[in-house]
Amino acid sequence: MLVSLCSSNCGVVNIYSQDSCLQETNPRPIKAIMNLVTGVTSLTFNPTTEILAIASEKMKEAVRLVHLPSCTVFSNFPVKKKNISLVHTMDFSPRSGYFALGNEKGKALMYRLHHYSDF
């Protein structure tokens, strides 16, 4: 599934079919992700584009992972511990086995994604 994204200053990320964006003047989103309440400052895909990470550096713990193509937000991330703080950067490892976040405290947090067997 090829997708196009659009984020807003109120935390909404719209997911569009790339075909509809190329063929229609006013395409309708496949899904509107509304799990953040402040402006989205970071978007990144894992290497296989199965997961989209969205974050806002304006609010603590404001990071979500979205499964594509189902367009559902993972309910088990972030974990209940409040240690993420303000996300300034994020990325996936080359084979998606790890997801890393950098925060305003200068800390790098790494999470193992067990669905992927390799790093």
**Three-class DSSP labels, the chain:** CCEEEEECCCCCEEEEEHHHHHHCCCCCCCEEECCCCCCCCEEEECCCCCEEEEECCCCCCCEEEEECCCCEECCCCCCCCCCCCCEEEEEECCCCCEEEEEECCCCEEEEECCCCCCC
Residues 115-119: what's their mean pLDDT? 91
Residues 57-84: what's their mean pLDDT? 92
Residue type, 13: V
Please report the domains of the chain, with CATH numbers, ordered by start residue: 3-112 (2.130.10.10)
Least confident range from 7-21, 24-38, 43-57, 85-99: namely 7-21
Note if the pTM is more than 0.85: yes
pLDDT band at 93 (very low <50, low <70, confident <90, very high): very high
Decide if pLDDT at 2 tops 70: no
